[in-house]
């Protein structure tokens, strides 16, 4: 099985006195949903950008299926916090963008795009312009667009960060549905503790100054959702509350209360 | 450098990224009331100018040689439209000028947009073209007109070139500023979807810069019309600028005034058309 591997990766931006990330190793399998959490400045986004090929590490190696990652590629589609959609295209054309780059014919493009829009529960919104969509709908389009590239891994950089709490919860189940349906490995950055617990199979807690891993949790809640249990009953489980306490402690470890 | 001064539209900054873009203040139309009253004031202003003009012409405060009455100008308009002036009808003068301005605009687009793209995308491009444009930009057309005539003769190409040179800087600099303003996230998203550098430019950079390019075209058209008279100074037989100059030489002031008003009207109509084109081509501008 293909793995996305960060091996002893350090990131040091030009002109910065200290490295942003030091010696972080993450191994993501194709059925993993790995979530990076941590306080601001802990290098979450830097690590995601290394995996995306947008940032080159100064030390260590990033590989996908054993091949080194040197540039962005459609095997690792990124979804950003600000949707980064193209406002001159309709929702359908946005989703079909990756297919168009590959020279897929117009009819097939539209068919695939509509299928993907249905998958993110945006049936019938294909002809809408981007500015006519709400924040949540835009992120759905962004997800569908990333999936259209047929990636092996999805890299999500706080994709739900700009959404209101209710939309956010609905999007979390959409993300889980996509993850179970599409067989892609996910690496996601978030600030939300509950979000991390609901979505992740593994939670990696990072601490700043320089960014490093302090804890790594195996979390089983998303597998339970995949097995058919309702989100509400998962969240009501005392084990969920206990895990939340443990995770919160890990994030704020060493910080004056 | 003064590149940014060509972008009129407020660029969305990171701080303003609300969850709901429709609530961004400038995406809302202005309150209807204030827009109407501004129009009323404009109409009153125009009527006032016409009134002062009519009264001072009627009372002969100024000799008709210097200031013909509005009625005289209107009559002249009808006469020139029907019978022509200096061997061409008004429509032929207008056509000649429009052709020069638009030919120049096309030259400016064909040359200026790629230059702007090069300035915005690559450091080498910026080093190469920025000093040339900064050199060219402040020189008045009348100053380089003689040189162009020496180099390219007194034919039609010289006239178009004079106008095109004046249009080049606004087109190129607006393109460059639009290209530099493209959101990095958008480019990163496209690259992670498998776009090559070339595809990023074609599918992301250019469309993103289009609002700014269109603003540049609007500024360029303005510059073009103001250069028209200079371009038609030498060896023209038709054109609004030529018509005005010929009239001035014989002190036919009513034709001069009429020509000025015709140019103003055409510029107004073109501005209106370009705004329409903007609404069709870049409806997302300002409300992304």
Backbone angles phi, psi at A2, to 5 degrees: -70, 135
Residues B269 and B170 in one domain: yes
Q: Residue B254: which residues within 8 A CB-CB, separation 6 or more? A: B68, B72, B73, B75, B76
Closest residue to B188, CB basis, from A72, A131, A149 = A72
pLDDT, tens digit, for every residue of B1-42? 444 444 444 444 444 444 444 444 444 555 555 566 888 998
Angstroms from B190 CA to nearest CA on chain A = 8
- The per-residue DSSP string of B136-150 comes to HTTS-HHHHHHHHHH
CB-CB neighbors (< 8 A) of B17 in chain A: 82, 162
Residues B146 and B56 in one domain: no
Name the residue of chain A whose CA is nearest to B206's CA.
Answer: A88
Residue B182, in any domain of the structure? yes
CB-CB neighbors (< 8 A) of B201 in chain A: none
Name the residue of chain B whose CA is nearest to A156's CA.
Answer: B189
pLDDT, tens digit, for every residue of B227-275? 888 888 788 889 999 999 999 998 889 999 999 999 999 988 998 999 8
CB-CB under 8 Å, A135 with B19? yes
Residues B22 and B159 in one domain: no
Name the residue of chain B whose CA is nearest to A96's CA.
Answer: B193
pLDDT, tens digit, for every residue of B189-210? 999 998 999 999 999 999 999 9
CB-CB under 8 Å, A98 with B284? no
pLDDT, tens digit, for every residue of A174-189? 899 989 888 899 999 9
CB-CB neighbors (< 8 A) of B282 in chain A: 88
Q: How far, rounded to the nearest angstrom, does the alpha carbon of residue A256 sit from its chain's CA centroid? A: 30
Domain count, chain B: 2
Domain count, chain A: 2
| ipTM for the complex shown | 0.86
**Structural domain boundaries enclosing A143:** 88-150
Residues B172 and B54 in one domain: no
Pick the closest to residue B266 from B255, B278, B276, B274 (CA basis): B274
Mutate which: B192, B198, B208, vs A, most A CBs within 10 A? B192
CB-CB neighbors (< 8 A) of B12 in chain A: none
Angstroms from A216 CA to nearest CA on chain B = 27
Residues B160 and B112 in one domain: yes
Residues A35 and A97 in one domain: no
> Mean pLDDT across the stretch B217-224?
91
Residues B53 and B96 in one domain: no
Residues B100 and B203 in one domain: yes
Closest residue to A131, CB basis, from B21, B191, B193 = B21
- Structure-derived torsion over alpha carbons of residues B246, B249, B255, B259, reported in degrees to the nearest 10: 60
Residue reference for tokens 């409300």: B287
Closest residue to A149, CB basis, from B17, B183, B193 = B193
- Looking at residue A254, what is its pLDDT? 59
pLDDT, tens digit, for every residue of B73-83? 999 999 999 99
Name the residue of chain B whose CA is nearest to A55's CA.
Answer: B188
Name the residue of chain B whose CA is nearest to A132's CA.
Answer: B22
**Structural domain boundaries enclosing B237:** 68-281
At how many degrees (to 10) do helices B156-180 and B206-231 cross?
Answer: 150
Which CATH number goes with the domain that contains B148?
Answer: 1.10.3720.10
CB-CB under 8 Å, B283 with A129? yes
CB-CB under 8 Å, A87 with B19? no
Provide the token pair at B157: 């190409």
CB-CB under 8 Å, A162 with B17? yes
CB-CB under 8 Å, A86 with B192? no
Name the residue of chain A whose CA is nearest to B280's CA.
Answer: A88
- Looking at residue B31, what is its pLDDT? 54
CB-CB neighbors (< 8 A) of B16 in chain A: none
Pairing of strands A3-11, A21-29: antiparallel
Name the residue of chain B whose CA is nearest to A167's CA.
Answer: B19
Residues A188 and A212 in one domain: yes
CB-CB neighbors (< 8 A) of B27 in chain A: 131
Residues B122 and B205 in one domain: yes
Angstroms from A250 CA to nearest CA on chain B = 30
Q: How far, rounded to the nearest angstrom, does the alpha carbon of residue A56 sit from its chain's CA centroid? A: 19
CB-CB neighbors (< 8 A) of B284 in chain A: 87-88, 129-131
Query: Residue A26: enclosing H or E segment and its boundaries?
Result: strand A21-29
CB-CB under 8 Å, A76 with B288? no
- The per-residue DSSP string of A38-90 comes to ESTTSSHHHHHHHHHTSS--SEEEEEETTEE--S--TTEEEE-SS----TTSB
Provide the token pair at B106: 């096309």
Which stretches in chain A have pLDDT values below 50? 256-257
Q: Helix, strand, or coil here: B200?
A: helix
Residues B84 and B181 in one domain: yes
Question: What's the start-to-end Cα distance of chain A, in Å?
Answer: 43
Q: How far apart are CA A234 and CA B57, in angstroms?
A: 88
CB-CB neighbors (< 8 A) of B188 in chain A: 52, 54, 72, 78, 80, 84
CB-CB neighbors (< 8 A) of B204 in chain A: 86
Q: How far are the Cα atoms of A92, B85, B115 from residue A151, in angstroms, in the given order?
A: 18, 70, 36
> Mean pLDDT across the stretch B158-171?
93
Buried/exposed code over A140-174 (b: 16+ C-beta within 10 A; e: otherwise):
bbbbbbbbbbbbbbbbbbbbbbbbeeebbbebbeb
Residues A160 and A231 in one domain: yes
pLDDT > 70: what percent of chain A? 98
Backbone angles phi, psi at A191, to 5 degrees: -100, -10
Residue A82, in any domain of the structure? no
pLDDT, tens digit, for every residue of B68-125? 888 889 999 999 999 988 888 999 999 999 999 999 999 999 999 999 999 999 999 9
CB-CB under 8 Å, A88 with B188? no
pTM for the model stands at: 0.80
- Reading across the β-sheet that carries A202-207, which strands appear in turn? A76-79, A153-157, A185-189, A33-38, A202-207, A212-218
- Looking at residue B168, what is its pLDDT? 94
């Amino acid at each position: 099985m293909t793995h996305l591997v960060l091996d002893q990766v350090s990131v040091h931006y030009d002109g910065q006195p200290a490295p942003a990330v030091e010696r972080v190793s993450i191994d993501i399998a194709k059925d993993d949903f790995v979530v990076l959490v941590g306080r601001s400045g802990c290098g979450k986004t830097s690590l995601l950008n290394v995996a995306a090929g947008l940032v080159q590490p100064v030390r260590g190696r990033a590989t996908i299926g054993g091949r080194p990652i040197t540039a962005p590629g459609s095997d690792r589609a990124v979804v950003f916090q600000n949707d980064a959609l193209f406002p001159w295209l309709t929702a359908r054309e946005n989703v079909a963008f990756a297919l168009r780059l590959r020279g897929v014919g117009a009819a097939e493009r539209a068919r695939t795009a509509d299928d993907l829009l249905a998958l993110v529960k945006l049936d019938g919104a294909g002809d809408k312009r981007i500015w006519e969509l709400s924040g949540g709908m835009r992120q759905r389009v962004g997800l569908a667009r990333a999936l259209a590239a047929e990636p092996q891994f999805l890299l999500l950089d706080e994709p739900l960060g700009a959404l209101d709490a209710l939309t956010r919860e609905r999007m979390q189940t959409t993300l889980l549905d996509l993850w179970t349906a599409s067989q892609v490995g996910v690496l996601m950055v978030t600030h939300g503790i509950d979000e991390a617990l609901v979505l992740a199979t593994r939670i990696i807690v990072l601490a700043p100054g320089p960014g490093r891993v302090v804890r790594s949790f195996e979390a089983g809640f998303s597998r339970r959702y995949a097995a058919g249990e309702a989100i509400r009953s998962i969240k009501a489980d005392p084990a969920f509350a206990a895990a939340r306490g443990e995770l919160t402690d890990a994030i704020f470890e060493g910080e004056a209360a | 450098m003064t590149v940014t001064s060509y972008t009129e539209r407020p660029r969305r900054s990171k701080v303003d990224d609300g969850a709901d873009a429709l609530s961004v203040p400038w995406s809302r139309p202005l309150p209807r009331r204030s827009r109407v009253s501004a129009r009323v004031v404009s109409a009153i202003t125009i009527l006032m100018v016409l009134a002062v003009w009519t009264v001072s012409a009627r009372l002969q405060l100024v000799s008709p040689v210097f200031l013909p009455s509005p009625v005289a100008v209107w009559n002249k308009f009808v006469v020139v439209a029907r019978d022509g002036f200096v061997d061409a009808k008004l429509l032929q003068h207008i056509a000649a000028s429009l052709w020069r301005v638009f030919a120049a605009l096309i030259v400016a687009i064909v040359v200026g947009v790629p230059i702007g793209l090069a300035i915005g995308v690559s450091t080498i491009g910026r080093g190469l073209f920025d000093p040339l444009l900064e050199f060219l930009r402040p020189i008045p057309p009348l100053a380089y007109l003689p040189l162009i005539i020496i180099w390219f003769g007194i034919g039609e190409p010289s006239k178009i070139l004079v106008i095109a040179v004046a249009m080049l800087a606004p087109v190129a600099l607006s393109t460059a500023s639009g290209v530099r303003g493209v959101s990095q996230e958008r480019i990163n998203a496209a690259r992670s979807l498998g776009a090559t550098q070339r595809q990023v430019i074609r599918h992301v950079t250019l469309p993103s810069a289009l609002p700014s390019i269109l603003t540049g075209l609007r500024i360029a058209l303005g510059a073009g019309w103001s250069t028209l008279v200079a371009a038609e100074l030498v060896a023209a037989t038709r054109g609004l600028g030529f018509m005005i100059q010929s009239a001035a030489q014989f002190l036919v002031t009513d034709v001069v005034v009429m020509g000025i008003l015709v140019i103003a009207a055409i510029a107004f109509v073109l501005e209106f058309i370009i705004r329409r084109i903007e609404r069709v081509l870049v409806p997302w501008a300002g409300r992304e």
